[in-house]
Amino acid sequence: MENNRWTTTAFALLLAIHPLSASVSMAKEQTAKPAGDAAAMMTIDRATFVPVVASANTFEIESSKLALDRASDAGIKDAAKMIIADHEKAGEKLKATLQGKDAPPPEAKLAPKHQKMIDQLQAARGKDFDTLYLDMQAQAHMEAIALFRTYAGSGDDQALVGFAKETLPSLETHMAHVKTLIAAE
């Protein structure tokens, strides 16, 4: 039951972030693995992974820049600084990983979903901004963690698999930090 939920959640996440991915890469059910085994429940190819990561990364940076200006809580501003620094570093690492491959470097372009989230943040003020920002960070990091775990376990480009594995702990740290801030509200 738990494995099916993760498969469904990961596939829904992929479709929500990148609707065309359904035609590019379909989810593949795998047999259940023992606890602690990081084998993926589905696969994602490089052509799907890279643009989704680029959009998510840009969203994290842009939304956190808004938080530096608009957040009323010092803890949120500190988290935003950390998120900006780590995601700028991840963006550079992604570009370096793709350099010399047959794919162009990813554009720092927001998917429509991420643009709508930025628009909502731009309209929010005060405590409403703080709450919305934290909720969006929790959602975005949960989705990113699922995406990176999936690619780390089943990716088709070993250099990008290494990037996913290397970046995942930072995403998990961000998620833990956001959860702490949400609990403190």
Quick one: pLDDT at residue 57?
Answer: 95
CA distances 152 to 28, 74, 127, 178, Å, are 15, 34, 37, 23
pLDDT, tens only, 143-162: 999 999 999 999 999 999 99
Quick one: pLDDT at residue 41?
Answer: 61
Report whether pLDDT(25) > 50. Answer: no
Listed in sequence order, the DSSP H helices in the chain are 2-17, 21-24, 46-70, 74-98, 112-123, 126-154, 158-184
Statement: the pTM of the whole predicted model exceeds 0.85: no
Using pLDDT thresholds of 50, 70 and 90, give the confidence band for residue 39. Answer: low
pLDDT, tens only, 49-101: 999 999 999 999 999 999 999 999 999 999 999 999 999 999 999 999 998 77
Quick one: pLDDT at residue 18?
Answer: 46
Name the fold adopted by 2-20+46-184: Ferritin (1.20.1260)
Quick one: pLDDT at residue 168?
Answer: 97
What single string gives the DSSP state of each residue in 46-70? Answer: HHHHHHHHHHHHHHHHHHHHHHHHH
Report whether pLDDT(7) > 90. Answer: no
Report whether 109 contacts 179 (CB < 8 A).
Answer: no
- In the chain, domain spans: 2-20+46-184
